[in-house]
Amino acid sequence: MPEQVKILVIDDEKMMREGCARILLRDGWTVLTAEDGHQGLEIIRRQPEEMDVILLDLMMPGMSGMEVLERVRDIDPNLLVIVITGYATVESAVEAMKKGAYDFTSKPFTPDQLRLGVKRALDKRLLQREADFLRRERERSLQDVATEKSKLKTIINCMEDGVLVCNSESCIVLTNPAFSRLLNVPESKLLGGISSECGLHSDLLTAIEKSLNIVDSGYTSISQELCIGNEGNLYLRANTAPVRSDNGEIIGSVTVLHDISYLKELDKMKSDFIAMVAHELRAPIATVEQQLNVILNKMAGETTEMQANLLSRAKERTRGVLDLIKDLLDLSKIETGKMVQYKEPIFLPDVINCVVERMSFEAATKKLSVQFLSTSSAPHINADRNSMEGIFTNLLSNAIKYTPEGGSIKVMLEDENSFVKVSVSDTGIGIKTEDISHIFDRFFRVKSSETRQIVGTGLGLSIVKSIVDAHFGSIMVKSAEGRGTTFTILFPKEAKSAECK
Amino acid sequence: MRKKILVVDDDPDLVEAASIILKAMKYEVSAAYGGIEGLEKARNEKPDLIVLDVMMPDKDGYTVCKELKADPELSGIPVLLLTAVVSHIPITRYTRQMGMETEADDFIDKPVEPQALVERIEALLAKQ
């Protein structure tokens, strides 16, 4: 009930008006009075919302109570009118009730009778207001839902990423124009169809199926790259994730497609550019080194010791540049997928032995001991031999570079379930904790007084990681500053390793 | 009698450097600065061995090698390919990596250590 209850008494008799007012004021209600129909209607019109109950005398000179009642109903049919009948005529009361009066009371009445009648009317008014409030609330929230829905639909339709939502039966329930544009399937064909019957990419269908059948309750999304179109010029990243209900049950799946063709193209341009520049740089520098070789070997005449010294340092510099170029070429080869494409069953100890032997001279000049131990029963993996040599050459060369004279390097080959585990440990200067997360980054080199003198391109470990990745392996590093570093690589064993000895 | 070696490379500086090395090792050296010229000189001069660069603008080393090996008069001349790839890998593997059948007898990557070049050449000539 609003703060202030307002009751209007319309009666031509002053006695009645004042009597009613007195009785009702006692309950703390506000009482307004009018001495005829016109005045009463005037008051009601001014504030129909605020009026709670109207006490209306039926027998009045001028406008009759019946007419006033009709007009009140016109203003607001919800207004509660209690008619007062001067003479106890049931007929007029019945007629008033038919015309919409809420109740009637006949003169003479006791204050309690009046109060009771008004109270009942007020209760009714309260219920009416509450119902009104609830109805408005409901309308508003329905409208909110509708607005929210339309807002979401607009957002989804405006997105440049493709969206596809399936229910648990793989039936497509929502999609957007970007989705049909990216996959070149008309939207009308998608909506309402079963996803497997809409000519979608098979990898996408597999992901949707998978996401609908995920068993564990954690958040899982399937991310994959799709190549669309015959020319293979459209690359999409597709993320598919299950939609769960409150109780964790999978009720559908959402797939979002993002066009990454431009990134792919840029990446390829970058790789091509690097390859082109590297080749162009390599030729002249190789020639310069060739010329230096000739002079250093005194084939172009005698050289003084000082000249030879200068020239051999010049050769060291060209060698450094050639190594960098080789690393860049390896990297661009890996990126274009050309590096690791000749996988064959290989026997890892052979590769490692070969690399250890090749590096032994370098190690010996620094008085480092290099040990190779294998406890693996079947160290066969399916790999690219050249890349494998690259990995161990890089790791061993790092170990040699960063281990002070007299230290030791150990290469271990062990079995670990279905993996072959190779570790390369040294007793070198180690890597700072804050640097460890960066050592596989391209061009990253640890900067310290100890490493300043060491030549390197900052590409070696990044290449190692790329090669390990391309062989579905993993690489980890553990290091203690000043004590040494261990690189550990896991390779999945060749399935038929027993046969390929 | 001194053995004659034909050096084919489009980079004159490299040809010069290789020639100096070979001459120092008492070989007779002939030079060609492209694939087409190399084939021509091989036909005219019938060298004992050919050092052949791979990347040449007019006719690459693989094609030149193929034509040499297809010619019955020249097919017996050992060919040492000069490449830009990593060494330490056997010729069969290199062949497969390039995805083509090169009939070259050996290969060596640039820049060449004089000692290594001479060793490879001596080994190839000894096979004859």
| A216 band by pLDDT with thresholds 50, 70 and 90 | low
| A218 band by pLDDT with thresholds 50, 70 and 90 | low
Within A366-473, residue ranges assigned H as helices are 385-401, 433-436, 460-470
Residues B44-103 have pLDDT tens digits of 999 999 999 988 888 888 889 989 999 999 999 999 988 865 433 444 555 545 544 567
Distance from CA of B42 to the nearest CA of A (A): 24
Distance from CA of A477 to the nearest CA of B (A): 28
Are A290 and B18 within 8 A, CB to CB? yes
Among candidate residues A16, A78, A17, the one with its CA nearest the CA of residue A44: A78
Backbone phi, then psi, for A369, in 5-degree steps? -95, 135
Distance from CA of A326 to the nearest CA of B (A): 9
More confident residue, A85 or A498: A85
Q: Which of A338-347, A375-384, A396-405, B80-89 is predicted least confidently?
A: B80-89
- pLDDT number for residue A436: 85
Q: How far apart, in whole angstroms, are the C-alpha atoms of residue A284 and residue A318?
A: 10
Show residues of chain A in contact with B13, CB under 8 Å.
Answer: 287, 290-291
- pLDDT number for residue A253: 92
- pLDDT number for residue A408: 92
- pLDDT number for residue A246: 85
| B41 band by pLDDT with thresholds 50, 70 and 90 | very high
Q: Is B118 on the interface with A (CB under 8 A)?
A: no
- pLDDT number for residue A307: 93
Q: Which residue of A has its CA nearest to B89?
A: A386
Q: Which residue of B has its CA nearest to A287?
A: B14
Q: Is B114 on the interface with A (CB under 8 A)?
A: yes
The 10 Å CB-count burial string (b at 16+, else e) for A47-84 is eeeebbbbbbbbbbeebebbebbebbeeeeeebbbbbb
Q: What is the mean pLDDT of residues A117-132?
A: 88
Q: How far apart, in whole angstroms, are the C-alpha atoms of residue B110 and residue B13?
A: 13
- pLDDT number for residue A457: 67
Are B93 and A385 within 8 A, CB to CB? yes
Question: Between helices A90-98 and A65-75, what is the axis angle to 10°?
Answer: 20
Q: What is the mean pLDDT of residues A245-256?
A: 89
Are B111 and A286 within 8 A, CB to CB? yes
In sequence order, what are the residues at sequence separation of 6 or more whose Cβ sits closer than 8 angstroms to the Cβ of residue A135? Answer: none
Q: Is B91 on the interface with A (CB under 8 A)?
A: no
Sign of the Cα torsion A165, A166, A171, A173 reads: negative
Q: How far apart, in whole angstroms, are the C-alpha atoms of residue A329 and residue A278?
A: 7
- pLDDT number for residue B47: 96
Show residues of chain B in contact with A386, CB under 8 Å.
Answer: 86, 89, 93, 97
Show residues of chain B in contact with A282, CB under 8 Å.
Answer: 84
Q: Is B24 on the interface with A (CB under 8 A)?
A: yes
Q: How far apart, in whole angstroms, are the C-alpha atoms of residue B16 and residue B32?
A: 11
Residues A40-81 have pLDDT tens digits of 888 888 887 778 889 898 888 888 888 888 888 888 888 889
Residues A285-297 have pLDDT tens digits of 989 999 999 999 9
Q: What is the mean pLDDT of residues A121-138?
A: 89
The answer, yes or no, to whether residue A95 has pLDDT greater than 90, is no
User: Quick count: other Cβ atoms within 10 Å of Cβ A29?
Assistant: 19
Are A299 and B11 within 8 A, CB to CB? no
**Interface probe, candidates A294, A316, A391, A396, chain B, greatest B C-beta count within 10 A:** A294
- pLDDT number for residue A500: 37
Q: Which of A102-111, A140-149, B2-11, B13-22 is predicted least confidently?
A: A102-111
Show residues of chain B in contact with A291, CB under 8 Å.
Answer: 13, 16-17
The answer, yes or no, to whether residue A393 has pLDDT greater than 80, is yes
Task: Give me chain B's average pLDDT, please.
Answer: 85
Q: Which residue of A has its CA nearest to B112?
A: A290
Using CB atoms, pick whichever of B18, B84, B111 lies closest to residue A289: B111
Are A299 and B20 within 8 A, CB to CB? yes
Q: What is the widest separation between alpha-carbon atoms in chain B?
A: 39
| A162 band by pLDDT with thresholds 50, 70 and 90 | very high
Q: Which of A48-52, A155-159, A333-337 is predicted least confidently?
A: A333-337
CA A234 to chain centre: 23
ipTM, 2 dp:
0.78
Q: How far apart, in whole angstroms, are the C-alpha atoms of residue A372 and residue A360?
A: 12
| A126 band by pLDDT with thresholds 50, 70 and 90 | confident
| A310 band by pLDDT with thresholds 50, 70 and 90 | very high
Show residues of chain B in contact with A318, CB under 8 Å.
Answer: 111
Q: Is B13 on the interface with A (CB under 8 A)?
A: yes
The answer, yes or no, to whether residue A499 has pLDDT greater than 50, is no
Distance from CA of A398 to the nearest CA of B (A): 19
Task: Give me chain A's average pLDDT, please.
Answer: 84
The total number of residues written for chain B in this structure: 128
CA A193 to chain centre: 27
Helix (H, G, I), strand (E, B) or coil at A259: strand
The answer, yes or no, to whether residue A497 has pLDDT greater than 50, is no
Distance from CA of A496 to the nearest CA of B (A): 23
The structure tokens listed for A241 are: 């994730």
Q: How, if at all, do strands A419-426 and B4-8 pair?
A: unpaired
Q: How far apart, in whole angstroms, are the C-alpha atoms of residue A337 and residue A389?
A: 18
More confident residue, A457 or A32: A32
Q: Is A299 on the interface with B (CB under 8 A)?
A: yes
AA identity, residue A25: L
Cβ atoms of B37 and B54 closer than 8 Å = no
Q: How far apart, in whole angstroms, are the C-alpha atoms of residue B20 and residue B118?
A: 12
Q: What is the mean pLDDT of residues A380-384?
A: 85
Q: Which of A40-54, A415-429, A487-501 is predicted least confidently?
A: A487-501
In sequence order, what are the residues at sequence separation of 6 or more whose Cβ sits closer than 8 angstroms to the Cβ of residue A437? Answer: none
Q: What is the mean pLDDT of residues A425-447?
A: 84
Q: Is B96 on the interface with A (CB under 8 A)?
A: yes
Cβ atoms of B64 and B87 closer than 8 Å = no
Are A294 and B97 within 8 A, CB to CB? no
Q: What is the DSSP string of A132-179?
A: HHHHHHHHHHHHHHHHHHHHHHHHHHH-SSEEEEEETTSBEEEE-HHH
Are A283 and B89 within 8 A, CB to CB? no
